[in-house]
Amino acid sequence: MHEEPEGKRRIIKAIMQDLELEGEDKARLLAKLVEQCNNDESKVRYIAKRVFITARYERLQKHS
């Protein structure tokens, strides 16, 4: 069973708060992940953590 859009918004909001993310671009990326993972919050959270940790690391390496 798929969650309604309200469930999708709840997942996105929860992950953005937990990972301290801001911005519409990150919310859109999370929305795509939610769809691809069939609303499985744990899968989305795992992938999002890896993506955003990698992005932060790459930014730090460019500024070093």
pLDDT of 41 reads 95
Per residue of the chain (64 residues), what is the pLDDT tens digit?
454 589 999 999 999 999 999 999 999 999 999 999 999 999 999 999 999 888 888 888 888 7
Could you write out the three-class secondary structure of the chain? CCCCHHHHHHHHHHHHHHCCCCCHHHHHHHHHHHHHCCCCHHHHHHHHHHHHHHHHHHHHHHHC
pLDDT of 2 reads 52
User: At how many degrees (to 10) do helices 41-63 and 5-18 cross?
Assistant: 40
pLDDT of 62 reads 86
pLDDT of 1 reads 45
Sign of the alpha-carbon dihedral angle for 8, 42, 15, 31: negative
